[in-house]
Chains A and B, each alone.
Chain A
Amino acid sequence: MTASALRPYHAVFRARFQLLLQYRAAAIAGFGTQCWWGTIKVMIFSAFLAGPVASPMTLRETIDYIWLGQAFLMLLPWSADPELARMVRSGDIAYERLRPVDGYAYWYARAVARRTATPLLRAMPMVLLTGVVLPSLGYGRWGLGPPAGIAAVLLFIASMALVVALASAFSTLLDVLVVMTLSERGVNILVAPLAIVFSGSLIPLPLLPEWLQPFMQYQPFAGLLDSPLRIYSGHLGGWSAVGALGRQAVWTVLLVALGRAIMRRAMARLQTQGG
Chain B
Amino acid sequence: MNAIRLYGRYVGVSLRSQMQYPASFLLTSAGAFAATGVDFLATWALFARFRQVAGWHFGEVALFYSVIGVSFALADGLTRGFDIFGDQFVRTGDFDRLLVRPRSTVLQLLGYELRATRIGRLAQALVVGVVAIRLTGITWHLAPWATLLFAVAGGTALFSGILVLQATLAFWTVESLEIANTLTYGGVEAAQYPLDLYARWFRNFLTFVVPLGCVSYFPVAAVLGKADRTGVPAQLLQLTPALGFVFLGVALWLWRYGVRHYTSTGS
Contact = CB atoms under 8 A, between A and B. Distances in A.
A26 B178 contact: yes
A53 B179 contact: no
Closest 7 CB pairs of A and B: A189-B31, A25-B175, A29-B178, A193-B35, A26-B175, A33-B182, A47-B197
A199 B80 CA distance: 30
B35 A192 contact: yes
A30 B181 CA distance: 9
B197 A43 contact: yes
A51 B53 contact: yes
B46 interface: yes
Interface in B189-234: 189-190, 193, 197-199, 202
A196 to B, nearest CB: 8
Query: B interface, by DSSP: helix, strand, loop or mixed?
Result: helix
B34 A193 contact: yes
Interface stretch (B37-45, B138-146, B252-260): B37-45
A250 interface: no
Query: A interface, by DSSP: helix, strand, loop or mixed?
Result: helix
Contacts of A207: 45-46, 49
7 contacts: A26-B178, A32-B179, A33-B178, A47-B197, A53-B50, A55-B49, A203-B45
A47 B53 CA distance: 6
A6 B69 CA distance: 50
B121 to A, nearest CB: 12
Contacts of A53: 49-51
Contacts of A189: 27-28, 31-32, 35
A47 B32 CA distance: 29
Given A29-B179, A51-B51, 8 more contacts: A25-B174, A29-B178, A47-B193, A53-B49, A185-B28, A186-B27, A189-B28, A193-B38
B52 interface: yes
Nearest to B55: A51
Contacts of B174: 25
Contacts of A50: 54
B64 to A, nearest CB: 12
Interface string A29-59: 1101100110110011001111111010000
Nearest to B177: A29
A23 interface: yes
B24 A185 contact: yes
Interface residues of A, number: 35
Interface of A: 23, 25-26, 29-30, 32-33, 36-37, 39-40, 43-44, 47-53, 55, 185-186, 189-190, 192-193, 196-197, 202-203, 207-209, 212
A47 B195 CA distance: 11
A51 B119 CA distance: 36
B1 interface: no
A156 to B, nearest CB: 25
Contact of B190 (A33, A40, A190, A197): A40
A3 B26 CA distance: 49
Contacts of A196: 39
A235 B108 CA distance: 54
B68 to A, nearest CB: 13
B24 A40 contact: no
Contacts of A44: 53, 193, 197
B48 A209 contact: yes
Contacts of A32: 178-179, 182
B12 interface: no
Given A23-B175, A51-B51, A203 B186 contact: no
A51 B186 contact: no
A47 B28 CA distance: 35
Contact of B49 (A25, A40, A209): A209
A128 to B, nearest CB: 20
A82 to B, nearest CB: 11
Contacts of B182: 29, 32-33, 36-37
Interface in B1-48: 24, 27-28, 31-32, 34-35, 38-39, 42, 45-46, 48
